[in-house]
Structure formats: structure tokens, C-alpha cells
Amino acid sequence: MSQLESLRRYSTVVADTGEIASISEHKPQDATTNPSLLLKAAQEPQYRRLVDGALDYSKKRSRQGLSPISLFLDKLAVDFGCEILKIIPGRVSTEVDAALSFDREGTIAKARSLIALYREAGVATDRVLVKVASTWEGIKAAEQLEAEGIHCNLTLLFSFAQALACADAKVTLISPFVGRIYDWYKKNRGQEIPPNEDPGVTSVTRIYNYYKKFGIKTHVMGASFRRIEQLTALAGCDLLTISPKLLDALAKSEATIERKLSPETAKMSDLVEMHLDEKAFRFEHNQDAMATEKLGEGIRVFYSDGRKLEEYANQVLAHTGAG
């Protein structure tokens, strides 16, 4: 049994890629994409038909007074999502533009628009997760969307305060970023951190234990992994989203993975139930220097990736005279 097969006994494996060939090879349950992954995939010749399809769609709908660039980008993201859903049994995550990270109403409107496109393509709502940044505004937008039956994946999650607010909002899934937490502490300490002291693993373990101890239905999906040891230390976490490089490494290794997280062990933790209003959330999140810095940095990076994808859309539309 490979490490990948062993890991699948305890956690749902999710592919962190927009590369359809890689998803076909590793056969994950779910998949997640973002603007940088879409930009890379969209420029591959084998996906030109998806680009052309989004282009035709934007031309037709832009005559109704809608922005051709916005239409193109939304349709491209959804069409990639639809292709991915043809080869996985579960769900695909499609991201809301990071420019809307502090815009509750804008996030809600964009999520509704993406879901409408999926429905138009014949995809059931329960097969899609709308990916939203874990700001206070993003979390409150997700709370409203969940009430409407639109399921959300709260990304860029670094602090326990964010996890608490997501629990209260009853979001479907959260994606705490193991690797980026590790990166911050490694840089801060100026040295490598032993696997048994990994702060990213510690953070996700605490969140998982809290959710399971208090019966919170929100699923925890560890994300942004740097090394296999982080994955094996979180075996048992609800879901783990893994890059193609690490999926390959897991598939080639025959070492056995033992379960580390479970609802039973979570119930024995000494965690205390907590609830945060907006003021408490902002204060508690601010008290975590790593989380404050990494959330801001993550939004900037995702925003930049979105603008690169937007520039690509501009070029495609200009080339066809549709801009």
C-alpha cells in the first residue's frame, strides 16, 4: 500500500491544482483551483477549447451591457470546474476575486453569479464550494450564502479566531494554511523547525480538536503543504488538499501512515467553547502576528494572481476584437 492509499483511509484527498491531467492521474475526491492555477492551465493548448468557450460566452452576454472581462473570467473558472467535475466524484472549489475580500455584498453577488453559471451548465449546487477569504466580511458573506444553500470554502485561514468565527457562521469547510504558517515561523526563527514542533500542524490540530469536541459540522481541510511530514502528522483531518508534486511523492512511497487525528481523541482535549463578535474577532486575530501578516500577504498575492488572469483575459479579448 502506498502512502497515498494509506492516507486515504483516514482523510479525504483533494487535488490542489487546475491541471486536469494531474487530477485524472491521482483520482482525488475533490479538487480546488485559484487564479494562478487557472492562468497556467488556460495557456496550455489542450485547454484552448475552454478558453474559446468562455470567449464566445462573454461576447454574447456583453451585448446585454455586462463586462466582457468579468464574464470571460467567471465563465472560464466555471468551465474548468465543470471539466474537473467530470473526473472526480466530489466537489470543486471556485474562488471569489480577492479584490472582494473586504466587501460582504460584493462577495455575495459574485458567489451567486458563479453558482448561476454552474447551474446553467447543469451542475448541482452541492458539487461546488465557493472559495472566500477568511476576513470578517468574507465570513459574514459566507454565513448568508450558506443560509441560501450555497456552500463555502473559507480560505487564507491562519488564526484560531478565524476558525471560531467560521464555526459560528456554519460554513461548510475551512482551509487552514499549514505551509504558510510554517514558512512564517521558519523565517521568524531563522532556522528549520522539526516536524514534531511544526506550528502549522499544531494550528490545524487545535482547530480540528475544537470542532470535533463541540460537534461543529464545518469540515477542516488542511492546505498549503510543504513536506510529507506535515501530511502524515494530520492523517485523520477531514480533508487534505495536496499539490501534484506531493501527491506523486505519496504515491511512490510504500511507507504506512498511522491515524493522528480522530473525533475520539479530540473529545479528550482541554479546549473551552468560545464565541466571538466582530470586535472580539478583530482583536483576537490582531493579537496573532503571524495570522495578521499572512492574511494580508495572502490577499495581496491572490489579488495579484487575479490581475494576471485579468490581463490574460484582456489579451484574449483584444486579440479577437471583443474587448
CATH numbers and ranges of domains, the chain: 3-319 (3.20.20.70)
Q: Which three cell numbers stand for residue 2?
A: 502506498
Beta bridge partners of 130: 94, 152
Q: How confident is the model at residue 175 (pLDDT cuts 50, 70, 90)?
A: very high
> Which residues are the active-site residues?
131
pLDDT of residue 63: 60
Average pLDDT over residues 133-162: 98
Encode pLDDT of 129-138 as tens digits. Answer: 999 999 999 9
Q: What is the DSSP letter of 96?
A: P
pLDDT, tens digit, for every residue of 250-279?
999 998 899 999 999 999 999 999 999 999
H-helix or E-strand spanning residue 258: none
C-alpha torsion sign, points 239, 242, 244, 245: negative
User: For position 20, what pLDDT does the model report?
Assistant: 82
**Does residue 228 have a pLDDT over 90?**
yes
Cα distances from 180 to residues 208, 222, 271, 294, in angstroms, run: 18, 11, 24, 7
Which residues on neighbouring strands pair with residue 176, listed in sequence order?
157
CA distances 2 to 147, 215, 237, 250, Å, are: 40, 32, 18, 7
pLDDT at 309: 87
Q: What is the pLDDT of residue 67?
A: 82
pTM, entire model: 0.93
